[in-house]
Amino acid sequence: MSSALVSIICGSRSDLATVERGAALLTELAVAHEMRIISAHRAPALLDRYVSAATERGVRVFVCAAGLAAHLAGAVAARTAWPVIGLPMPGGSGGVGGGLDALLSTVQMPPGVPVATVGLGNARNAALLAAQILAISDPALAERIRALRAGQTRAVEDDPLNEGA
């Protein structure tokens, strides 16, 4: 029995290296998560079973990474009432504009089936958004996110190139 609150689903094994950066941030924030590789097109029955079981186990936010046609996030959003974050992947053979096709496919959802979308390959933002959604009802997580953001600010302020600014 998994205690994951966030499910990260890759449409292809080639997306794994990118989504691992988001998984690392979730680990840093102490957000339980799990990862799967499930193609919305090549394994739709597996996707059905997985999404149903994941929500029954307690997953509350899905992050879906896919390139090219990038239908994974929409396919998941059609199967759950929980938030889905689309992570369009850059590049790919035949990809238009270095991932523009994936971005547009992820953003252009029909009314009633929303998918929040982050920038191309930005797994850390997808993970952070998932954590922020969960933090609405978890004050300790909200504090960890505030600390992370404060650390980001300090890193910029403390950069030697900003001395005297």
Containing structural domain, residue 58: 6-162
Domain-located, residue 87: yes
Q: 70 near 102, Cβ under 8 Å? A: yes
> For every one of its 165 residues, what pLDDT tens digit does the chain have, with 9 covering 90 and above?
468 999 999 999 999 999 999 999 999 999 999 999 999 999 999 999 999 999 999 999 999 999 888 899 999 999 999 999 999 999 755 545 688 889 988 999 999 999 999 999 999 999 999 999 999 999 999 999 999 999 999 999 999 998 877
Domain-located, residue 151: yes
Domain-located, residue 1: no
What does the alpha-carbon distance between residue 60 and residue 160 come to, in Å, rounded to a whole number? 41
Please tell me the total count of domains within the chain: 1
Burial annotation 91-130 (CB, 10 A radius, 16+ → b, else e): ebeebeeebebbbebbeebeeeeebbbbebbbbbebbbbb
